[in-house]
Amino acid sequence: MSGKSASLTPVLIASSLKPVKDTRAWGKLGLSLHKTGLFKVYFMGFSQNPEENCKDENFYSSFSSQNSIGKRVFSQVNFTRTLFKLRPKTLVVCTYEYLPLATFFKRYLGYKLIYDVQENYVKNLELNPTLSSPTKRKTGYLIRLMESMANIDLHLLAEKCYVEEMPEKSPFLILENKYKGEITPISPFRVGHKNGYSFLISGTLTPAFGTLDAVKWFKEILREFPASQLHIIGHCPLADFQFTLQKAVENTPQIQLRSSRFPVPHEQIVAAYSTVDFALLAYQNRAAIKNKMPTKLFESAALGLPVLISPNPKWEEFLAPFSGGFSMDFYDLDHALKNFEAALKQEYFTQTPGESILWKSQHEAFITAITSL
């Protein structure tokens, strides 16, 4: 080990549920730590294939199959081994599953424990149609137990609404899922009338995120604009829903579906933004969703792509200053064409979005919080 490497503070960012190169843990938290030149960062997470280590990054696999309960249990062993091998000064845990062990070994290894609260996991149980009510209650109890018993020095909250939803998570720092790149300069424009339009659905594909609702809406658009295209790319965690989605699009050649049981590399999703006219956010009006700020809102704003959103006051308020999108009732199929034609008349990106939509706007607060520990 070189003298410089030996002087760097070791930080382990660990998750069992997220990819080892997770967009937030690796691409954002890790990015901010690297920029300081003060930290040696290690990452642990789900990985199908080994990741190549480099000078300032080392990767460790929690397990390689999300469908295996046995491997998820064994990931706890992997986590323990990694902790004692690396002996980090700071441990960032990105999933509740590791909190009990992280708390237990904290007294022996002496690290500062940070919990990156990426989701309200208890509330999210209501979005899973495959779970029975008793299973949701039992799982919710276990999650609350693991989170409440942890000896945590700092909570990183991925959503502002988590302050009210989970007031027990204190002390905290809000770190929203903002875009980690730069804002693309763009002049005001109207999409205008043409024979067909291209749309994008990306990220997590689930019933509650309105994936199937958007497909039905798109088929109505095809009645007037048959040359239109819908591109769907993302992670479909529910096997039954993936089958349903495949059946829904199989007789519509204008729909290109790329669904995966594993997370799709984020750079592939971002690349898809440049190939379409609109991004679609047809999220259902559910308690676990409506107060959150989807990453796709920040990405679309930064990349200059108009977004059609389900009616949501919070999202409308975010888009209004620069006219970054248009509200669309994806359930109102009878008026789908009329509503879409109204969206075509709007002028988009009348102003350049402010840099507050970028991850770098939170960099200083994050680093200050880490170093102050």
Strands, E assignment, the chain: 9-19, 39-46, 57-61, 90-93, 112-117, 154-157, 172-174, 198-204, 229-235, 255-260, 278-281, 307-309, 325-327
Question: Of the given ranges (40-54, 204-218, 227-241, 359-373), which has the lowest mean pLDDT?
Answer: 40-54
- Look up the CATH number of domain 3-178+359-372: 3.40.50.2000
pLDDT score, position 20: 84
Identify the pLDDT of residue 59. Answer: 76
Tokens of 276: 């379409």
Q: Rounded mean pLDDT of the chain?
A: 92
pTM, two decimal places: 0.93
Asked if 322 and 353 touch (Cβ cutoff 8 Å), the reply is: yes
> 343-352 burial, b for 16+ CB within 10 Å, e for fewer?
bbeeebbeee
Place of tokens 């480099």: 54
Helix, strand, coil share (%) of the chain residues, nearest 5:
45, 20, 35
Output the pLDDT for position 304: 97
Taking residues 303-329, report their average pLDDT.
98
Q: How far apart are CA 146 and CA 169, in angstroms?
A: 13
Q: What is the pLDDT of residue 67?
A: 54
How many whole angstroms separate alpha carbon 10 and alpha carbon 39? 6
Instruction: Name which CATH class applies to 198-356.
Output: alpha beta
Non-local CB neighbours of 276 within 8 Å, separated by 6+ positions: 198, 199, 200, 229, 231, 305
Q: Are 215 and 244 in contact (CB under 8 A)?
A: no
Cβ 254 vs Cβ 176: under 8 Å = no
Q: What is the pLDDT of residue 51?
A: 59
Equal fold, 3-178+359-372 vs 198-356: yes
What does the pLDDT read at residue 1? Answer: 45
- The predicted-structure confidence for 231-265, as pLDDT tens digits, reads as follows 999 999 899 999 999 999 999 999 999 998 888 88
Greater pLDDT, 150 or 163: 163
The reported pLDDT for the residue numbered 65 is 54
The C-alpha angle 59, 258, 275, rounded to 5 degrees, equals: 95
Residue 15 in this model has a pLDDT that exceeds 50 = yes
* Mean pLDDT (whole number) for 351-362: 97
Q: Is 53 a residue whose pLDDT tops 70?
A: no
Residue 12 contacts residue 112 (beta carbons within 8 Å): no
Give the bridge partners for 200, in sequence order: 231, 279
Q: Looking at residue 248, what is its pLDDT?
A: 96
Residue in 50, 62, 119, 114 with CA at minimum distance from that of residue 88: 114
Residue 166: the pLDDT is 97
Q: For the segment 118-148, what is each residue's pLDDT rounded down to a tens digit?
A: 999 999 999 998 899 999 999 999 999 999 9
Strand extents, DSSP E, 87-137: 90-93, 112-117
pLDDT in tens, 165-202: 999 999 999 999 999 999 999 999 999 889 999 999 99
Indicate the domain borders of the chain. Answer: 3-178+359-372, 198-356
Instruction: pLDDT band for 69, please (50, 70, 90 cuts).
Output: low
